[in-house]
Amino acid sequence: MTRLLDRMMMIAVIGAAGLAPLALFAQTAGSSAPEKSQTVIKGGGEEVVLDVIVRDKHGKAVTDLTPQDFEITDNGERHPVKSFRLVQGAEAIDAPVAGSGEGKHVQLDPLRQIRLVTLIYQGLDLTARKMARDASLDLLKSDLPQNVYMAVMVIDHQLEAIQQFTNDRELLKKAVLRATGGDNQNFVGDTDRVEAELQQILGPNPGGQTLQQQANTLQDSANATSNGAATNGAAVMNAQVAALTAQMMLQMLKGQQGMAMIDWGRSSIYALLTAVKEQYRLPGRKTILYFTPGFSIPQGMEQGFKNVISIANRSNVSFYSIDTRGVGAGNNSGANDMLKSAADSSRRQAQSTGYEAVTADQAKVFDTAVESSRANTQVTLSDLSESTGGFLIANSNDLKGPLRRLNEDIETYYEISYSPEIQKYDGSFRKVVVKTARTDLRIQSRSGYFALPPSMVGNGNVIAGYEVPLLKAFESSPLPKSFAFHSDGMHFRDAQNQTFGEIVIDVPLSSFKLQENKETSIFEGRFSYLAVIKNVAGEVTKKFGNEIPLKVPAAKMSALAQSHFIYTEQVNLPPGRYTLETAVMDQQGETVSASKRSILIPEVESKLGLSSVVVVRAMKDKDASTLPTDPWLMGDKLVSPTLEPVIKKANTPTLPFYLVVYQDQKQKSVAPELVMEFTRDGQLLGSGPAPLPAADKDGRIQYVATVPIEQLPAGNYSVRFVVKQGAETVDEAVTFVIE
């Protein structure tokens, strides 16, 4: 047994990737689950209220329609109009509804006549500020109707309030000048200048290549020349230096622009969600005028963007986005350049001889191609506006005409309600179509809503349609177990030596049903997950989830069988015991699995600390969205954990473990010591020391140790990690199964 233990204790610190099969690893600072566009469902009753704007083919508002002129279908079924009125200026004109009796008017909430308008400004350069300022002041030239209230806000990393809702024009003018004024330094022009200088170095560009493609071409040419016969060594060296330094500078700019795009998109989505989620408190039509150069949707934030649309529709908020870049801004150039860069990197990688270094572009070719589809910020603004019943104002330096139409939308619209008669609140999307018999009319309204119980959509709750079947799964007894997955709570310490939780969800991708698209030879599917954390009183303290699309080429289907979706979410919770409820749904196969388990956020009882210990599935390169404080970040790698691992010895010669030791900073002269104790099927096999490296400047010792397992017989194993420093001792354990 001693010899076996000695063989097991061959430990090494790991700092490289490739530890295990491919893992789909997702991590965000916080995501909540969004939906598609919705109408307003009044809490406590089954009534859908629509604000409908009707214009003729010349763009003029049509105000002479009756309830009988409208046809409403909900999920393909026609529904009669329950209430109807034309809202125009300060007056609301009731109209009798068919079948309600001669001359009978349906009384609606008089507060529905209130109109709230929020002006939001974000990321404006000097030219855009002037454009937004002139347009906003033009809106305020005439007195506001008594029932119109306006507010002024700015997004600067977060939502900032400049003026609360008021109909005092002078206060609003001051707020607009404050929001669009200032002489903050703008260095975008300097970056443009440097890129222009690089363009001069790289030479003419008749083929319309990106700067990165030109730098690649120049380097290819220099490499080809250096391989020729008689060459001018100095000229070749200069050409290579020019190409490499141009590439280096471009990589700097691209890296920063990529990180800035992610940060900008996240802050925009969170700020807009804040702007709409509380507006459910007042009835009436609500409008947001969003002056912005736009934002792209970072990978992993798709649900967050959909949630903005969903909550806006639920709160009866329409977005009118104003692209402040005006005419000739090259609004799609970012997307096109990214896509070209991805294609060029793919080409260079395919032509590589295998002896040259792989560039960062080549390593990120798939991510770049994915991000390029999100980089068209004008499409994002259009989706935001049209999905909520507004429209996008773009590609124009003259905003008077579009804003005049916008003002008409605020002032004049039909308010129509109907009963959807929902039999099953299954969270599915119900498409709403509003038509008239007159084909020459243009109708502007919301596109639909999710079938959610009224109790779920009131009080500003954020409940996505996909969450409904997952929430129902928690109520089932026994819990559904259609396929295997695991979830658990880990604990780590922050820079202040306080404990925080880390939730991990591990789902084998082989659990999901995929269907082949015959035209593309791509197998497609979709799954969703939801995690709810409750305290000892049964109160929900945290909730997060998402929908994940799966698209797998036929050639990669065999690899899918060994791949996992691994998601981690940091949760800041007071020390104590909690219940983690997790559910996962295969939407293609319509199957659900759920689990409930207890998790512990421990008290900090000593200055010496030890994190949870996990078995490592794989390690991947960090990306631009990785935070420096990420507990899974080790150097330039991210640890991808696995839960309740079952190890096939034939395929796994060594088993890696990840842990973090937090040394007592007041005892730096005494180095922490680690001992590992091995148990199989409840019987102690033995123990032995494992050498720890030195702590970093924060007193952390991040450690990945590998243990050879070829000599271990099959069984249920537990490894207890005991750390000692002076008189202090802490320990953690991890279990696994060897087959």
From the first residue on, what is the mean pLDDT of each consecutive set of 10 residues in the chain (739 residues)? 37 36 39 36 59 89 93 93 82 49 48 80 88 90 81 86 89 92 55 61 57 57 53 58 59 56 81 84 85 82 79 84 71 43 40 36 35 61 88 83 82 88 75 88 81 60 75 89 94 90 93 88 91 88 87 87 88 93 92 95 88 92 84 91 86 90 89 94 90 90 89 91 94 93
Contact 628, 616 (CB under 8 A): no
pLDDT at position 9: 38
CATH of domain 21-33+468-607: 2.60.40.3880
Q: Which value, to the nearest 10 degrees, does the dihedral of the CA atoms of residues 449, 450, 456, 462 take?
A: -80
Alpha-carbon distance 79 to 432, whole Å? 10
pLDDT at position 302: 77
Contact 321, 393 (CB under 8 A): yes
β-bridge pairing 148-155 and 115-122: parallel
pLDDT at position 93: 46
β-bridge pairing 499-508 and 564-571: antiparallel
Q: Residue 395 has what DSSP assignment?
A: S
Q: Which fold has domain 35-331+376-465?
A: Rossmann fold (3.40.50)
Q: Rg (Cα) of the chain, in Å, rounded?
A: 30
- pTM given for the model: 0.54
Beta bridge partners of 701: 661
Alpha-carbon distance 730 to 493, whole Å? 14
β-bridge pairing 728-738 and 715-725: antiparallel
Alpha-carbon distance 455 to 471, whole Å? 13
pLDDT at position 631: 93
Alpha-carbon distance 382 to 684, whole Å? 64
Torsional class of 480: left (φ above 0), alpha (ψ -120 to 50), beta (otherwise): beta
Alpha-carbon distance 482 to 484, whole Å? 7
Contact 438, 64 (CB under 8 A): no
And the tokens for 653? 């010669």
Q: Tell me, what amino acid is at 147?
A: N
Query: DSSP string covering 141-177, please?
Result: SSPPPTTEEEEEEEESSSEEEEEEEE--HHHHHHHHH
Alpha-carbon distance 133 to 125, whole Å? 12
Q: Name 193's Cβ contacts closer than 8 Å, sequence gap at least 6.
A: none
Q: Which of 240, 392, 423 lies closest to 320 in space, CA to CA?
A: 392
pLDDT at position 332: 46
- On the question of a common fold for 1-20+613-739 and 21-33+468-607, the answer reads yes
Integer angstrom CA distances of residue 278 from 30, 272, 459:
20, 11, 8
Alpha carbon of residue 197 to chain centroid: 36
Contact 614, 642 (CB under 8 A): yes
pLDDT at position 206: 53
pLDDT at position 372: 37
Query: Is residue 198 packed enough to be buried (19+ CB in 10 Å), middle (13-18) or exposed (0-12)?
Result: buried
Annotated domain spans of the chain: 1-20+613-739, 21-33+468-607, 35-331+376-465
Q: Which fold has domain 1-20+613-739?
A: Immunoglobulin-like (2.60.40)
And the tokens for 565? 């979706």
φ, ψ (nearest 5 deg) of residue 303: -65, -35
pLDDT at position 434: 92
